[in-house]
Structure 1
Amino acid sequence: MKVQVLKKKYGDGKIVMILRVEVDVNNLPNYELGDVETRILDLLLDNEEITQRQLSQLFGRTKACRAIKNLENMGLIRREKKGRTYVVRVV
């Protein structure tokens, strides 16, 4: 992977940078998302966060749990304990 800084701007205690990133596609991990995983990601992108209980009600407990674990192992989502359930968010 090559990273090149094209432009940077300082101000208000912030740095804004425009980067050019080159990635060799042969080194990328090959992830295939199933139908439930794709639908969960779409829901998360629309709603920012959703509880695992709500996902279980939509897709069934077993399917939702497996899909959430797969997405979490891929590093695409994050689960945080909230009461008696988990809140699921996109990383």
Structure 2
Amino acid sequence: MFEYLLVKALFTIFLISLIVLISVIWTKIEKIMDETVFKNVSEKTRYIVTMIIVMVGEFVLIVITSLNWKASIIDTLFFGSIIL
């Protein structure tokens, strides 16, 4: 029983740290893109392109996850939205 709670706590800490790491990495990528690629682009266009990149990236991760775990894409979309 104690081992189960320990593993569950460690897994939760791992997921939280992974989410924080992803947000920090994305912030750095967004800053680099703002300084280079989106230098002379309007703010509205910048947000639109950024959201498209995020949506495509999330969809690719969801499809890869559903194929690797042999789960349906709908279930993976549901759990992916909970995690995000």
TM-score higher than 0.5:
no
Q: Which structure: greater helix fraction?
A: 2
Q: Which structure: greater strand fraction?
A: 1
Task: Give the TM-score normalised by the residue count of structure 1.
Answer: 0.25
Structure with greater contact order relative to length (CA < 8 Å, sep ≥ 6): 1
